[in-house]
């Protein structure tokens, strides 16, 4: 058992407990201490896998990526709302595939979720290195295949 | 002065709730109108994320800096993470079962082959939602 990972997990879990309970009497803090130690003991090797390096840089870059993602989410919603409310309903669904350059599971998950949240595309499946993406029309599919988002994710997780 | 601040808070809250509700409504309309399963995932997967997110941000603005607001913030983060993941899980399940995505072109060809001459002039881009929906359901 890695004592550093245990203590780090313990602090995070206990801070989370305090935030959620919002009570500071002996009973609540005491049960928080007991529960946090059990949870931290059971899961200290899940939160910090100990394999990655530059974790802090990745976190900072990911936080810097969030505003752009939120902007894309807003665009996606306006796009879907337009298509749904327009009487002619300008959709032409198609499934596109592309090969990814990302290697780690976290990076692939981030890309898959980003694709789902950005305009006109939903990730269906990842088989080996190939993403299967359902696009609601031709333009979003072309935008996706151009690969700007994949490069951003690769930059965040230092895989470029 | 404090009245102005309270009014401003209320106005921002109401605006965020209304915009959130609008996106939820648009998503639901899209869910009903879109022709097949996968395009419906577009409507629900995206609009729910932003609609719920905006409404919860509105509640944070209304509540101010309290522990409840922090909990709502965690809710937003969870929705941002869980919504696309569940959309993906459902879409993957449908794809694995072998549900074919609806195609505009396929639809047109099939109508011609089955000799459905009822509305041949209507097979282009000018389909209304009802026809598309029926086509999707049969697939």
pLDDT of residue B110: 52
Q: How far is CA B66 from each of CA A113, B60, B69, rounded to the nearest angstrom?
A: 30, 9, 5
CA distance B94 to A7: 43
Based on the fold, state whether residues A36 and A72 are members of the same structural domain: no
Residue of chain A whose Cα is closest to the Cα of B51: A77
CA distance B135 to B139: 7
Q: How far is CA B105 from each of CA A92, A94, B15, B102, B125, rounded to the nearest angstrom?
A: 9, 10, 41, 9, 10
pLDDT of residue A49: 64
Based on the fold, state whether residues B48 and B85 are members of the same structural domain: yes
DSSP assigned state of A93: -
pLDDT of residue B113: 53
Max Cα–Cα distance, chain A, nearest Å: 63
Based on the fold, state whether residues A38 and A82 are members of the same structural domain: no
DSSP assigned state of A24: -
pLDDT of residue B57: 92
Based on the fold, state whether residues A73 and A20 are members of the same structural domain: no
pLDDT of residue B120: 42
Structural domain range at position B42: 2-101
Each residue's pLDDT, cut to its tens digit, for chain B (139 residues) gives 567 777 888 899 999 999 999 989 988 888 888 888 888 888 888 888 888 989 999 999 988 888 888 889 888 888 888 888 888 888 888 888 877 777 776 555 555 555 444 444 444 444 444 444 444 444 4
Based on the fold, state whether residues B46 and B112 are members of the same structural domain: no
For tokens 């709302």, the residue is A81
Each residue's pLDDT, cut to its tens digit, for chain A (160 residues) gives 678 888 888 898 898 888 888 788 888 889 989 999 998 888 877 776 655 667 778 888 888 888 888 888 888 888 888 888 888 777 788 888 888 888 888 888 888 888 888 778 888 888 878 888 888 887 777 877 877 788 888 888 877 6
Q: Which of residues 86-115 of B touch A (CB under 8 A)?
A: 87-88, 91-92, 95-96, 101-104
The domain tally of chain B equals 2
Based on the fold, state whether residues A149 and A70 are members of the same structural domain: yes
CA distance A56 to A62: 10
pLDDT of residue B105: 60
What residues contact B79, with CB distance under 8 A and at least 6 apart?
Answer: B48, B49, B52, B53, B56
B33 at the A interface (CB within 8 A)?
yes
Structural domain range at position A119: 55-156
The number of beta carbons lying within 10 Å of the beta carbon of residue A135 is 27
């Amino acid at each position: 058992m890695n004592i550093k990972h245990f203590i780090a997990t313990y602090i995070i879990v206990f801070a989370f407990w305090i935030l959620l309970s919002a009570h500071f009497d002996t009973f609540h803090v005491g049960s928080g201490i007991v529960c946090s130690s059990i949870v931290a003991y059971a899961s200290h090797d899940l939160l910090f896998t100990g394999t990655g390096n530059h974790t802090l840089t990745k976190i900072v870059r990911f936080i810097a990526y969030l505003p752009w993602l939120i902007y894309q989410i807003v665009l996606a919603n306006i796009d879907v709302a337009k298509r749904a409310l327009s009487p002619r309903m300008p959709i032409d669904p198609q499934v596109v595939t592309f090969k990814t350059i990302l290697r780690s599971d976290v990076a692939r998950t981030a890309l898959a979720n980003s694709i789902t949240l950005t305009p006109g595309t939903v990730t269906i499946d990842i088989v080996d290195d190939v993403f299967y993406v359902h696009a609601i029309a031709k333009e979003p599919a072309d935008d996706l295949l151009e690969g700007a988002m994949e490069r951003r994710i690769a930059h965040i997780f230092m895989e470029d | 002065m404090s009245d102005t601040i309270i009014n401003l808070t209320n106005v921002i809250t109401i605006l965020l709730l209304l915009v959130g509700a609008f996106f939820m409504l648009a998503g639901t309309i899209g869910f009903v109108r879109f022709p097949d399963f996968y395009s419906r995932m577009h409507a629900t997967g995206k609009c729910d994320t932003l609609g719920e997110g905006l409404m919860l941000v509105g509640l944070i603005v209304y509540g101010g800096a309290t522990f409840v607001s922090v909990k709502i913030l965690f809710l937003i983060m969870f929705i941002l993470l869980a919504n696309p993941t569940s959309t993906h899980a459902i879409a993957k399940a449908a794809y694995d079962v072998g549900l074919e995505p609806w195609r505009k072109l396929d639809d047109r060809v099939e109508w011609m082959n089955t000799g459905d001459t009822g509305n041949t002039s209507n097979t282009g881009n000018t389909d209304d939602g009802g026809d598309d929906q029926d086509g999707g359901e049969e697939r």
